[in-house]
Amino acid sequence: MDKKLYLGIELGSTRIKSVLIDADCEPVAIGSHNWENRFIDGVWTYNLDDIWQGLQASYKAMAAGYEARYGQKLTSLSGMGISAMMHGYMPLDRHGELLTEFRTWRNTSTGGASAVLTPLFGVNIPLRWSIAHLYQAILNGESHINQIATITTLAGYVHLKLTGENVLGVGDAAGMFPIDSATCRFHAGNIADFDALIASKSYNWGLADIMPRVMSAGEAAGQLTKTGAKLLDPTGSLSPGIPFCPPEGDAGTGMVATNSVAVNTGNVSAGTSIFAMLVLEKGLSKLYPEIDMVTTPDGKPVAMVHCNNGTSDLNAWVQLFHEALGLLGKNINISDVYEGLYHAALEGDADGGGLMAISYLSGEHNTGFEEGRPLFMRLPEGRFNLPNFMRTMLLTAMATLKLGMDILTEKEGVTITQLMGHGGLFTTKGVAQKLMAGALNIPVSVMETADEGGAWGIALLAAYMGHDDMPLDEFLKNHVFANRAGSSAWPCSADTQGFDAFMKRFKGGLKVERAAVDYFK
């Protein structure tokens, strides 16, 4: 067996994916498991059984693929890493047990906390950040607060259970609490500010006591324990002792998977949520509520435009069309339905023909919504046909992202020569890529490996462990991406002008969305 094997597992919003790579960073076996969040008692969540059953199923499928290819069981690895959805809230007691339901990034009920913490820290604290969830729980007087031994993210939780190490990669940590760019650690001054804020509560912990240790790419972050090996692979084939890289968030692994960790590079991830990451030479001139300041996995400053709502509503419509075809006796694979419908969008009018959709399944901080109501509307004289409908659904998935990107390009003068795209929206080649290039007026490139996504990205970070002789961006450029191909789409004036017209209607449509949230209960 080739001992140079590295495994990356990412728990995304709709899929848990395992990617095994060799010494050349080429995927050799892949497994996945589909899952969905649940909306229970007003909270977006996944239960613990979902997490572990999904991890085991994804790993099992990958291991079966390896055995089918090589004729032997997978028993050991040279390195491994865990990635997952960033942000959210997972408070654990001293036994490592979850004290509340897992509150995902999708929850936007922390407005009171964000309004206090943002001016206190002098840094934008989005609603989905872990510190906002913690302080909101304090404001709500929740009974579990004094039992907290640690708070972490989903990636940090899984890593803790597999290795016994309570750590986070700096990119994931940057979605919990502000990072000091000089130290690549949690900002000590902001920690002191928070402790002073809650001093009157007399909790038995200080903030530094309950947050994970922050680590950077390249460092070793523990080893797979016997308990962890059995938890991941109940068959007992996988041996303990495998070294782990620091657990990372999906934004950081997306940057790695698209070779976008060097200064002045950027990427856009488009799936259940949609977000752009731009690696900056320096910080922004002022605080913007629409822009998060996070980091790359090796600590460089990143401006993040994050939108909670990406393709969920679009996917629901595609599923509806798939059901309709089934009702007519057409047994068509849903991937072919996506392919056909996406290509139909290219035949639509550049502005969507007078149609409009607001795809907010959940709240959207960037436009001031704590809840969402997916809407579809059309002008009486609108050209209501399938190409325009599909183009509208694709354009609206990009609309909120455009609002944040305009801040960076128009107000901050950030120069973006190219965005690297990855995620489910780009699976159908050439369609969303072309429309996004026109929408953002920036070339958008998609590499052949884009569909492997963050699971491949965290596998690359596992392979990077111990490479202290070169920075992460050089490792990726020279060792991973030197000979990898991709495709690029450039903006065309018709698409850009059409999207500008669409955006005027979209901004007006937000008032309709506000009425829907207020009155459609």
Same domain for 134 and 40: yes
pTM: 0.85
**Using CA atoms, how far apart are residues 373 and 414, in angstroms rounded to an integer?**
33
Q: Give the single-character DSSP code of 244.
A: B
Same domain for 291 and 353: no
Whether 254 and 454 have beta carbons less than 8 Å apart is answered as yes
| CATH label of the domain that carries residue 264 | 3.30.420.40
Q: Count up the domains in the chain and report the number.
A: 3
Residue 38 lies in a domain: yes
**Using CA atoms, how far apart are residues 162 and 158, in angstroms rounded to an integer?**
6
Which amino acid is residue 22, in one-letter code? D
Residue 341: predicted pLDDT: 98
Residue 376: predicted pLDDT: 97
**Using CA atoms, how far apart are residues 321 and 314, in angstroms rounded to an integer?**
11
Same domain for 510 and 459: no
Q: Which residue matches tokens 């159908």?
A: 428
For 419-483, where are the E strands, in sequence order? 419-422, 444-447
Instruction: State which residues form the domain around 321.
Output: 312-403+493-519
Residue 434 lies in a domain: no
Residue 441: predicted pLDDT: 94
Q: Name every residue whose Cβ is closer than 8 Å to that of residue 458 and which is 6 or more positions away in sequence.
A: 8, 9, 10, 81, 82, 83, 245, 248, 253, 256
Same domain for 265 and 368: no
**Using CA atoms, how far apart are residues 348 and 505, in angstroms rounded to an integer?**
17
pLDDT per residue, tens digit, the chain (521 aa), is: 457 999 999 999 889 999 999 999 999 999 999 999 999 999 999 999 999 999 999 999 999 999 999 999 999 999 999 999 999 999 999 999 999 999 999 898 999 999 999 999 999 999 999 999 999 999 999 999 999 999 999 999 999 999 999 999 999 999 999 999 889 999 999 999 999 999 999 999 999 999 999 999 999 999 999 999 999 999 999 999 999 999 999 999 999 999 999 988 899 988 888 999 999 988 888 999 889 999 999 999 999 999 999 999 999 999 999 999 999 999 999 999 999 999 999 999 999 999 999 999 999 988 999 899 999 999 999 999 999 999 999 999 999 999 999 999 999 988 888 899 988 899 899 999 999 999 999 999 998 766 667 899 999 999 999 887 899 999 999 999 888 878 899 999 999 999 999 999 999 999 999 999 999 98
Residue 466 lies in a domain: yes
Q: Give the single-character DSSP code of 328.
A: T
Whether 211 and 190 have beta carbons less than 8 Å apart is answered as no
Residue 450: predicted pLDDT: 60
Same domain for 333 and 234: no
Same domain for 185 and 230: yes
Residue 1: predicted pLDDT: 47
Residue 449: predicted pLDDT: 65
Residue 435 lies in a domain: no
Three-state secondary-structure class, residue 485: coil
Same domain for 189 and 281: no
Residue 409 lies in a domain: no
Same domain for 186 and 325: no
Same domain for 371 and 230: no
Same domain for 221 and 197: yes
Residue 480 lies in a domain: yes
Q: Name every residue whose Cβ is closer than 8 Å to that of residue 156 and which is 6 or more positions away in sequence.
A: 90, 166, 167, 168, 172, 212, 247
Residue 342 lies in a domain: yes
CB atoms within 10 A of CB 102: 21
Same domain for 317 and 302: no
Same domain for 153 and 219: yes
> 141 burial class (0-12, 13-18, 19+ CB within 10 angstroms)?
exposed
